């Protein structure tokens, strides 16, 4: 379609130029310029090549992800009748590899009790809920009912927790007749239940966001829930409401030590404005979460206050998959690739929002404390096709790495290593003929990674979209840099130092970016081992 419009335009321009008898150089250049002003459809320009988007209409948080019988299930906050936030449903998509998704019919609809807000699902393998029939393992979903009438009436108790079960592997759900299973205790923001089977203490657990705290519940049957404790007073970021928590145990890389990870999304109050997800590392005794002393110590350092899973502006409300087989053993995560500061007004009409690539989480010991590492799931490498490899380029000034004649820069994975960067920094630039630029890289002077989308194309839809350059402190003290860059039409995901620092941002260029270059900051350096993979989804 794009090529068709483009070639028709070129033919038209040639005919016009012939009729006018234009022979001069200036006129020719004008023709070239005009031919470059292709009109792209929203679909061609902005629909991601491989990040999940609903076919049409609005999407926000990922919900209820579980794995069963070869399929990864992903549900999502969805308003099927509009392209801005509205009455929430649980949309549904499935995948065999967390990379290519198939959208399924809507799984849970709002009803007289309210909209269906965020939540989670588990596979009830032992039928502790009693919902099983004919030996089928039920899938139990838990979500928040948001009662709009209650909200309008001025009460604060309009959010409660409810469950539903599925006996057809998550395609359709039956709501439990005794809902809600947890009534509102008089807390305004009381939502986003995330259930987990605690194999250490052998019971179901559930974490819930309540104002600016997390509440911990336990249950033996997924219907009756007991409040055990809460966490959050005076710890971490409190610039906004806490939302979409997740809790899970993890082995520290290379050891048998087990620590508990608590993810907490917060909006606003993110490190670069708006929505973001912080985390805490600690211990859980079956009732109470205690933050690790060394991690708490880090949070008390002036440069932190919070430690974030992603320092870009567009990774929010992310949680992990349940029921991943022990033989796999990975902790798998996906986030919503937007930010409440502008999610409702980004320049797409047919659909709004995409998910991040699915990511694998690992826990590592850093100095005396702990950090999470996030990397794209390895399944993404199955889509690599053409590969360009460049070794040791001396970067003295602005140096082209590759352009769209060689590779489609909107479906690409780039791996690079810079050995011994010493006192320099670097800035990658994605550019197009319209003069749009997306810059990202590392500033040596303040030891910060950055993403600068201020001139990346369409930005005027919200002041908050491009009011600043996003920054992230570098944690590693390794003189060598390793990075992975995942590019789609409207997103960049940067994984630095093996995923110690991650930055995810969206952008909307006026035409596709067609050149990638790099320039040194302060001092020349050698760019080594650069590998560029086309990711092929045809
Ligand atoms: C997070 C959130 C959740 C809520 C949902 C509503 O983005 O605000 O707290 O359940 O979105 O769509």
**Encoded tokens for 300:** 């008390």
d(CA 498, CA 512): 28
- For ligand 1, is residue 278 a contact (CB within 6 Å)? no
CA of 192 to the centre of ligand 1 (A): 7
Choosing from 244, 274, 339, 355 the residue with most ligand 1 atoms within 8 A of its CB, the one to mutate for a pocket test is 244
Q: Which residue has the tokens 């019988």?
A: 69
- For ligand 1, is residue 244 a contact (CB within 6 Å)? yes
- For ligand 1, is residue 61 a contact (CB within 6 Å)? yes
- Closest atom of ligand 1 to 244 CA is 9
Is there a cis peptide before residue 180, judged by omega within 30 degrees of 0?
yes
- For ligand 1, is residue 207 a contact (CB within 6 Å)? no
pLDDT digits (tens, 9 = 90+) for 266-284: 999 999 999 999 999 999 9
Active site residue 61: yes
pLDDT digits (tens, 9 = 90+) for 324-352: 999 999 999 999 999 999 999 999 999 99
Tell me which residue of 101, 99, 100 sits closest to 378, measured CA to CA. 99
Phi first, then psi: give them for residue 101, nearest 5 degrees: -115, 145
Mean pLDDT across the stretch 248-268? 98
Taking a C-beta distance cutoff of 8 angstroms, is the pair 421, 481 a contact? yes
Taking a C-beta distance cutoff of 8 angstroms, is the pair 42, 349 a contact? yes
First vs last C-alpha separation in the chain: 16
d(CA 209, CA 207): 7
pLDDT digits (tens, 9 = 90+) for 358-384: 999 999 998 899 999 999 999 999 999
Max mean pLDDT range (37-46, 337-346, 393-402)? 337-346
Q: What is the pTM of this model?
A: 0.93
- For ligand 1, is residue 118 a contact (CB within 6 Å)? yes
**Coil vs helix vs strand at 351:** strand
Quick one: angle between helices 25-36 and 2-19, nearest 10?
Answer: 160
**Domains of the chain, each with CATH number or no CATH:** 2-375 (2.115.10.20), 378-535 (2.60.120.560)
Sign of CA dihedral 280, 285, 287, 288: negative
Mean pLDDT across the stretch 153-157? 95
Q: Which of the following is catalytic: 61, 124, 298, 514?
A: 61
Name the E strands within 234-339: 241-251, 258-267, 276-284, 289-291, 316-320, 331-336
Q: List the residue whose alpha carbon is closest to atom 9 of ligand 1.
A: 243
Taking a C-beta distance cutoff of 8 angstroms, is the pair 407, 527 a contact? no
Mean pLDDT across the stretch 472-479? 90
Residue 200 C-alpha from the chain's centroid = 29
Taking a C-beta distance cutoff of 8 angstroms, is the pair 396, 524 a contact? yes
**Per-residue pLDDT at 21:** 33
């Amino acid at each position: 379609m794009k090529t068709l419009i483009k070639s028709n335009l070129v033919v038209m321009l040639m005919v016009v130029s012939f009729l006018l008898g234009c022979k001069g150089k200036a006129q020719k250049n004008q023709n070239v310029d005009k031919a470059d002003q292709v009109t792209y459809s929203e679909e061609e320009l902005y629909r991601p090549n491989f990040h999940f988007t609903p076919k049409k209409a609005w999407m926000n948080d990922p919900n209820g992800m579980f794995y069963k019988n070869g399929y990864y299930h992903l549900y999502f906050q969805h308003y099927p009748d509009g392209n801005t936030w509205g009455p929430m449903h649980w949309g549904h998509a499935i995948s065999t590899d967390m990379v290519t998704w198939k959208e399924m019919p809507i799984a849970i609809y709002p009803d007289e009790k309210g909209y269906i807000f965020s939540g989670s699902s588990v596979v009830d393998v032992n039928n502790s809920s009693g919902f099983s029939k004919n030996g089928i393992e039920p899938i139990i979903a838990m979500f928040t009912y948001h009662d709009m009438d209650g909200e309008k009436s001025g009460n604060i108790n309009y959010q409660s927790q409810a469950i539903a079960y599925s006996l057809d592997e998550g395609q359709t759900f039956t709501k439990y007749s005794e809902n809600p299973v947890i009534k509102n205790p008089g807390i305004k923001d009381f939502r986003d239940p995330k259930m987990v089977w605690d194999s250490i203490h052998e019971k179901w657990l559930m974490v819930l966001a309540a104002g600016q705290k997390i509440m911990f519940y336990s249950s033996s049957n997924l219907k009756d829930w007991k409040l055990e404790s809460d966490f959050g007073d005076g710890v971490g970021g409190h610039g906004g409401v806490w939302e979409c928590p997740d809790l899970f145990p993890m082995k520290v890389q290379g050891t048998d030590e087990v620590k508990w990870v608590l993810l907490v999304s917060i909006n606003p109050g993110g490190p670069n404005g708006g929505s973001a997800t912080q985390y805490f590392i600690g211990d859980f005794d079956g009732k109470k979460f205690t933050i690790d002393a060394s991690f708490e110590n880090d949070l008390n350092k002036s440069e932190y206050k919070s430690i974030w899973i992603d320092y870009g502006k567009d990774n929010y409300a992310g949680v992990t998959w349940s029921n991943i087989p022990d033989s796999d053993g990975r902790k798998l995560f996906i986030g919503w690739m937007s930010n409440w500061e502008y999610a409702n007004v980004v320049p797409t009409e047919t659909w709004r929002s995409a998910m991040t690539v699915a990511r694998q989480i690992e826990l590592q010991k850093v100095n005396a404390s702990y950090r999470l590492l996030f990397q794209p799931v390895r399944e993404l490498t199955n889509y690599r096709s053409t590969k360009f490899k460049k070794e040791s380029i001396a970067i003295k000034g602005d140096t082209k790495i590759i352009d769209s004649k060689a590779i489609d820069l909107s479906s690409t994975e780039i791996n690079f290593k810079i050995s011994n960067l010493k006192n320099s920094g670097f800035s990658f630039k994605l550019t197009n003929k319209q003069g749009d630029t997306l810059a990202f890289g590392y500033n040596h002077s303040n030891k910060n990674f950055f993403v600068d989308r201020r001139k990346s194309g369409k930005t005027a839809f919200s002041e908050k979209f491009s009011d600043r350059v996003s920054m992230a402190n570098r944690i590693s003290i390794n003189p060598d840099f390793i990075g992975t860059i995942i590019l789609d039409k409207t997103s960049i995901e940067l994984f630095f130092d093996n995923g110690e620092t991650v930055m995810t941002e969206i952008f909307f260029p006026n035409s596709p970016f067609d050149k990638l270059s790099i320039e040194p900051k302060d001092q020349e350096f050698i760019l080594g081992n650069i590998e560029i993979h086309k990711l092929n989804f045809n």
